[in-house]
Structures are given as C-alpha cells and as structure tokens.
Amino acid sequence: MLDSNHLFDITIIGGGPVGMFAAYYAGMRKADVQIIESLPELGGQVATLYPEKQIYDVAGFSGISGAQLTENLIEQLALFQPTLQLSTAVQGIEPQEDGTFVLKTTKGTTRTKGIVIAVGNGAFTPRKLAVDYDPEWENHYIHYFAKEMAQFKDQTVAVAGGGDSAIEWALMLEKVAKQVYLIHRRDQFRGLESSVEALKQSTVQIKTPFLIDSLTEMNQQLALTLNKMKSTDQEQLTIDKLLVNYGFISDTRILRDWGLTLDHHQVAVNQQLETNIPNIYAIGDIATYPGKVKLIASGFGEAPMAVTELLTNLYPEKRQPLHSTSIM
C-alpha cells in the first residue's frame, strides 16, 4: 500500500535491469528510494520475454541469461532494501509548488523529490505476422516469445526475423531442436558481427531473402509458403513451431501526457540525462540523446550519472563521491 504522506528522495519508474541498478546505486548514496513497476515482479522485458536468452553486453560476463541477470540484480538490490511497489502503474505526474512531485498510480498517490524514468520500451506488444492464421495457433504452433527452450526440444523450428534477438534465438534453438530455419526478407542480417559469424558456422539453415506468404495446418504441423523477394520463386517448409521475432510495438503516449518532450517515442534528455522537467531524469532504452547506443551496458552507465545529478540538485551542500570506493 502506498503511503501518500511519505516523501521519497527518488522514485524510479521501471523495475527492469537499468531501473534496479539505479535503485542500488541510489541506495549506495543513502538516498530514500522506491521502485514503481507495473509488472508483478522485477526484471522487466528481460525477465518476462527473454529469461533464457543470453545477454552479451554486461561487463564481467561472457554471456548471462536474462533470468540470471535479474536474479543477480535482485540480490544486489537487497543490500539496501528500497521500497518496492509492484503491480503498480504510474498514471500521472503532478509537479508541486515546492518542487516535489505527486505521482498518481493505480494503487493511490505517492510523493517524491525526484524521478528517474527507466521504463525500457514502455508498454510493448510483439509485431505480429502480416498473414492470416487461426488465432488459436498462437502458443501452439506460433510463438512470439521464447521463455523456455525446452518446449522446442527435438522439433523442427523456424525463426522469422533478421535482428540480433532472432539470430540468438536460432543459435539457442540449435542446441535443443531437431532442425532450425532462420527466415529473413533481406540477404543481410542486422545482428552483431560476432552473432552473424556464429550463425554462418552453425547448422541453422538460412532462408534469405524470403518472406512468409501463407500458413497451413497439416498433420499436426505447420506448412509455410515462402516468397522470394523481388521474384516469383517460392519455397515450402513443414515445421512444428514458428518463432516470430519482428520486434515490438511500444506505446509511450502516457509519457507525453506527463509533459515530457519526446523524440521518436523516446524521452529526450540533455547531457546530464535530465528531461525538460527539472528533477525528472530518463535512462535506458526510453532515453534518447545524440550518439545514444541502446544496450543494457549503456543503461548501467547512465544510472549512476542520473542519480548523481539528481542528488546534486536535491542536496547541493553534500560532497559528491569521486570514486565508488569512497562511498561505502
């Protein structure tokens, strides 16, 4: 239950990896912190959509699963025990005359001196296949998330998509599936060079440049008709499962309602990661600025920057630490 009388130093909106690390760092700085997360558990998109997917841009790990990264961050966060408001969505932000904010949520109101927005891609839904199919096939033949690789064991699986996540899914499936196909409408993939090279060295059968034209149920399998781009050529595939990774459609309209300046559906911030509203900062995938690189590693770097800047504004008389070893 939210305490409408308590005034927090910092409220972090979003309980994904970047939000959790921001709360941890704020705890190191002895700030009074709360995390507000709309999902019933911490971890955000990484934990909800890709728990088994390997993440390669976290320093100190050659690869770590979304589930393990989330578990590590929760363990780290527990050192300072910030207030957690789960299954709670922020509906409005109201600046007050004294410079503080009142946040309206689905579970009442809460007060805070500063805000760090770390909502990732906002509310998101997967971009669906642009072909007709029986909706009941979803989660049986057609999947938009791959939470457990075991469900694809010893099956023939096709992955549709050309980004890094699609490539990584294909490489992970190679270890458990009988056969894996990767279907992309271009000859070139958009993944990291190392991922593309690993794909070329794998047993994954690459189908490019092809687009899925139709799906048919046949003998408890799925028959795919593939159209070759800029050609009349077609190919047929018979598979057990189709895993679609065409990205996600994010809904960030509520951010505009909060009075924030957006740039292509992301929150525009300055060099200090501050938004157009004083003492409201944005970090992670939701924040944009010239030269922004959308990596978890980038968000981890932005978290202490935003927290430090915010605490400097709130408590200018306090000396700021020069190095992490001077904090503890």
pLDDT in tens, 76-100: 999 999 999 998 989 999 999 999 9
Does a structural domain hold residue 1? Answer: no
- How many Å apart are CA 52 and CA 78, to the nearest integer? 23
- How many Å apart are CA 307 and CA 313, to the nearest integer? 10
- How many Å apart are CA 71 and CA 33, to the nearest integer? 20
Does a structural domain hold residue 2? Answer: no
Of 217, 244, 271, the last residue of a domain is: 244
Kindly report the backbone phi and psi dihedral angles of residue 325, in degrees, each rounded to the nearest multiple of 5, phi listed first: -70, -15
pLDDT in tens, 98-112: 999 999 999 999 999
141 and 290 housed in the same domain: no
298 and 217 housed in the same domain: no
- How many Å apart are CA 169 and CA 52, to the nearest integer? 9
Q: What average pLDDT does the segment 123-129 reach?
A: 78
65 and 45 housed in the same domain: yes
Asked if residue 162 lies in contact with residue 189, where contact means CB atoms within 8 angstroms, the answer is yes
- How many Å apart are CA 195 and CA 198, to the nearest integer? 5
120 and 20 housed in the same domain: yes
257 and 319 housed in the same domain: yes
240 and 152 housed in the same domain: yes
Q: Which amino acid is at 58?
A: V
224 and 256 housed in the same domain: no
Total number of domains constituting the chain: 2
Q: What is the pTM of this model?
A: 0.74
Q: What average pLDDT does the segment 283-311 reach?
A: 96
171 and 186 housed in the same domain: yes
Does a structural domain hold residue 54? Answer: yes
Q: What is the pLDDT of residue 324?
A: 63
Six-digit token pair at 145?
């998330």
Domain range holding 45? 7-124+248-326
Q: Name the more confident of 44 and 323.
A: 44
Binding-site sequence positions for FAD: 37, 45, 50, 90, 124, 285, 325
Binding-site sequence positions: 37, 45, 50, 90, 124, 285, 325
Q: What is the pLDDT of residue 327?
A: 53
Give yes or no for residue 128 having a pLDDT over 60: yes
108 and 216 housed in the same domain: no
Spatial CA neighbour of 2 closest among 93, 82, 108, 94: 108
